A and B are shown apart, each in its own frame.
Chain A
Amino acid sequence: MSLPPLVARGLRKRYGDTHALDGFDLEIESGAVHALLGPNGAGKSTAVNTFATLTRCDEGEVRVAGRDVRKEPAAVRSSVGLVGQHAALDEILFGRENLVMFGRLYGLSKSAASERADELLGTFGLLDAADRKVSTYSGGMRRRLDIAAGLIRRPALLFLDEPTTGLDPRARNEVWQTVRQIVDAGTTVLLTTQYLDEADQLADRITVMDAGRVVAEGSPQQLKRRLGGDRVLVTAPAHADLDRLAAALGGTADAELRQVTVEAGQDGGAAALTAVVRALDAAGLEVDDILLRRPTLDEVFLHLTARDAAPTGPAPTGPAPTGPAPTGPAPTDTASTEGALR
């Protein structure tokens, strides 16, 4: 089957005056992790719930493996798994009982359901806690059980809505491991997140969304490349002559931050850093701090989703950020990141 696991076109959903989805498009490739990245209220959960048939859109079309979520919700439900933003477990039942119950609801026999439950409890390191009430679980354990419940039927497509929000770094790592296992086992994953490092770590492709629309789309590398190459940030002491420093280093000065930014050329960051140090030495200049910066997804994110707040940090070589992010027509999902940013 070469049908894409999920295609969404022109989704619109209003809640009163809020446009939760405002002309949203998405296409997911099979066997990959696709991250939907956006700030609070961007419409991530609304999008995912629409894909999983929980929410009905006002306009637009969603096809999961070729099936329309509106016309064939039952067929869609049997091929996807949803792990919602908030843990959806029975707190009074034991961990194992939760999995067995969901397994039986999926149509497994009693013995098949408990076999599958044991298998998943093993995979997710929950065997020790299997016979305890879920209300006694830690946040990380709950999240893992929640994800396990979404995997009972080995769905072709799994939605994970903010799987690591509220987890400590260790638990987050565990969930990341879990997601990698899931993909290795052949499931396509659509995950939403507000964390850039999470998208960077896990995703093959990232769709940045804000205010119900796609703001940019591409691989993590493509998105980072948007901000140009490495650069060296030199912080000057309080009374130093910033312009002299900038001239000596061949960089641009930022009076407010008392910083000079030197763009690295083709030779990369290390060469630029060495050149900066040599130039400082030759000119006999003193500085407070020298930093080699690689562009992070955070910067991409801030630029793309900047609304009224002016983006911080030195301007990259790329096009300057354009005031309120999505002013023009919504970019299509096939547009390159360059095109998508406008």
Chain B
Amino acid sequence: MNAVAATLRQSWVITLRDLKHWQREPWTPVFGIAFSVMLVLVFGYLLGGAIALPGGGDYLAYLMPGIFALSMMFGIEATMSAIANDSKKGVTDRFRSLPISGAAVPLGRAGADLVNSAAELAVLMVGGLLIGWSASGSVAATVLGVVLLLWLRFAMLVLGVFLGLTFRGEGGVTAVQVLVWPLGFLSNVLVAPESMPGWLAVLAQWNPISATAAACRELFGNPTGITGGVLADHALLLAALWPAVLTLVFLPLTARAYRRLSR
């Protein structure tokens, strides 16, 4: 068997194992979805009435793609805590003592997390349709939007594996759980950056998650709330590039962290 096929086979075994965890203890993924649904309710109905979009448009239609992107980003917590948990329990050490590829465990994790995120996205989209959101773009554009969302999730996965391997203590996971909030909200996900003070607006525009959310709004035919700035012309490009940059930077670091793991 050649090395690539063997690695894929080993990754698949790990993916099945990770998926079985959710089958046995479904609360983690169910809670993840419930959380996104809650955000839709809070921002769509509770606060949405008070939020005016620059350039006009329905706020709920603006919000949904933002929530999609946000839930992809928040997935980093699940990845990180699963990885940290494994290495704390010693399972990672056993994996490392087996004659398997070093890439198999992270790749397997990636497979499982992408399945989970795709399911979460499907639930959110169907839920969105039920409350009046719709994607009015072409089928191809809609599919591209979904691909860009999962692409962001993939970058978050790599980052999550890296963080999970590097900061294994309880503190590490908690820190990320807290940090994702300001990082997630400092974007165009919930409100248009135009309503923010100048320097914040710049930061929010350059947030990777903003690029994905803006690109999806364009592709789904939803209001973008954009009146200028980089995302006005380059949302798609940035939505493709940002995750690529993150992956390129953190994939080697992750491989290194995995090799260097030792207790």
Contacts and interface: CB of A to CB of B under 8 A. Distances in A.
B89 to A, nearest CB: 7
Give the interface centre of A53, A87, A105 by most chain B CB atoms within 10 Å. Answer: A105
B252 interface: no
Nearest to B86: A90
A89 B91 contact: yes
A91 B86 CA distance: 10
Would you call the interface of chain B mostly helix, strand, loop, or mixed?
A: helix
Contacts of A82: 94, 97
Contacts of A102: 94, 98
Interface of A: 49, 52-56, 74, 77-78, 80-82, 84, 86-93, 97, 101-102, 104-107, 133, 149
B13 A104 contact: yes
Interface string B219-263: 000000000000000000000000000000000000000000011
Interface string B74-111: 00000000000000011101111111100010000000
A87 B90 contact: yes
Given A77-B98, A149-B94, 12 more contacts: A49-B263, A54-B97, A87-B90, A88-B90, A88-B91, A89-B91, A93-B17, A97-B17, A101-B17, A104-B13, A106-B99, A107-B1
Interface residues of B, number: 24
Nearest to B101: A74
17 contacts: A54-B96, A54-B97, A77-B97, A77-B98, A81-B97, A82-B94, A84-B93, A88-B91, A88-B93, A89-B89, A93-B17, A93-B20, A101-B13, A104-B13, A105-B10, A105-B13, A105-B104
> Would you list the 5 A-B pairs with minimal beta carbon distance, nearest first?
A88-B94, A88-B90, A78-B99, A77-B99, A82-B97
A101 B21 CA distance: 13
Nearest to B85: A91
A150 to B, nearest CB: 8
Give the interface centre of B14, B89, B97, B98 by most chain A CB atoms within 10 Å. Answer: B97
A54 B93 CA distance: 7
B39 to A, nearest CB: 28
A101 B98 CA distance: 12
B98 A106 contact: yes
Interface in B96-129: 96-100, 104
A74 B97 CA distance: 9
Give the interface centre of B10, B96, B104 by most chain A CB atoms within 10 Å. Answer: B96
B74 to A, nearest CB: 22
A193 B90 CA distance: 19
Contacts of B89: 86, 88-91
Contact of A86 (B24, B90, B262): B90
Nearest to A78: B99
B52 interface: no
A132 B93 CA distance: 23
Interface in B164-212: none
A146 B152 CA distance: 38
A22 to B, nearest CB: 18
